[in-house]
Structure 1
């Protein structure tokens, strides 16, 4: 009931704000005409006084009176023109405007009564956080956990629960912080260290950095069978250009995994990619659409790792050892396949500059890039 009372008062206020100017418009116009007429009469009286005292010449006084008379006549003519059609046009306009102002709230109220939920009780955040967790959304559960940890930051269990949720939501930086808090408060575990490594890699766009490798290695020390840590350490080998070692690590991991492990699919896809003829021969094939589609069943961080790690690792390797023509062509093709045209063009320019613009390698790079629809920049 209170809702309808407030809504009615607001509607009434808005309607009056529009209707009152429409109702008083004519009176304001008349008041303005009377004011102008009084001013002209005062001017005529002042002119008569100046003429009587000899302050103005008779000819100038006559001309001034004529000008004031013309202004009064124009004022009267305008008023008569406004009354010539008994105010029909303004009256119609005011009628239409009034009808519109009245119809809009009636229609909106009618629609709301059918489509809205005026009787639904308010749901402040505190009440939503206090309701049964089974009836809460993921965002509400996360908000509840964050509120609890803000008040109790030393509860390691809370960070331990929240960290993997952050990871699934791809909030990688938050996940890394939560895992670190859980480790600091509740100690090391293989699951926490592996989760920390995955969060660090996810925050870096799938690159298994030194910090991520340290976390994965710590996880394996605690649990040599930890699949996540084993997989990512093999990815790190692939990033460093050690493809054969990465394939061997994945093969050994696949032999240890139980038949129902969700990691079997990811490892099989990685091995299939590593065993492709072009990759094994050092050819020009990089991550392609098939690899991207094959990674769709993986977690977001795993998928990013599968798509981007080899490219980033190859780029870093070429920066350290740039005289590798086949490596440069692999890098250019990989960036093109991933849709990163600017990075592909930059890699092409770097490759040409390494060997010289007039070299046989530079001509080979240019022809190869042209076959991919890429041209070198100046």
Structure 2
């Protein structure tokens, strides 16, 4: 019985906003008409003042008084008369209001009848605490999360508990909570490749798909722990590609592809990544390419080599972190006897790779063997 009393009360509250306008329509009309008459009388007074000042002519004033008078007469007609004279299709008559009220009340009445027939009003309440005391196999995933959170609140140093809840958070879209859980699991139980990968993936998802420096660090730690782990290798290569280091990413993906067995489910994805990155790189000519060009005419050879070298130069301007690419560019310009361009490429390559780096030292050594003047030192 308490259930039906509560249901009736709530239904009444829900219906009142619809029923009250229907019941109070006449009062509303009366209030509106009284307000309109007051406004029209103010307009008449204003009109008299304008006529006295000579702001409008007597003819215009007379016409305006007549129009305002008609509006006052219309607004002064009793509400019952207005309702009787109201054209069909405008507003509600008494019958219309009764029909509308019955329609509003029919919805909850029908709902009560259907629920009484097929529902379970006698079913006892099931508060969250009672549901959590059930067999865990009968809990929903969200109830399981609440159980785990209660356990971790009471036992915050339970590393295994954090490791269990982390992938659940990830699955239900609570990515930042998943990252925190993985971080706690690593702090309490130690670092493993699986935990570091989970942390990196959670951080990436929390940032909207961007591989942050923190996520990349997690992938690299996983790779250091398990150098042959295909997922760690794939994600580390993906981080390089995300940073624009296409040459390094392509090499990492290519090495992974070469190590994967033929039946590995990773092969199609890795092969696609290699194809995409190598297709964007436009690698430029090797020494063999330049020598092979001697089989065609001088003009065609010059055009072909020029296009290849220009493509390599443009790629290195966009992605300068490519030691092998800089060596190719300097060698190509030297073979073409373009000494100034070779020296400029040497200068730009050393600056991009870092003047004190091993890659820059190798580039200088190659340039010296080709007789390229080290203009990069005169800055």
Q: TM-score, normalised by structure 2?
A: 0.49
Greater relative CO, 1 or 2 (CA 8 Å, sep 6+): 1
Q: TM-score, normalised by structure 1?
A: 0.49
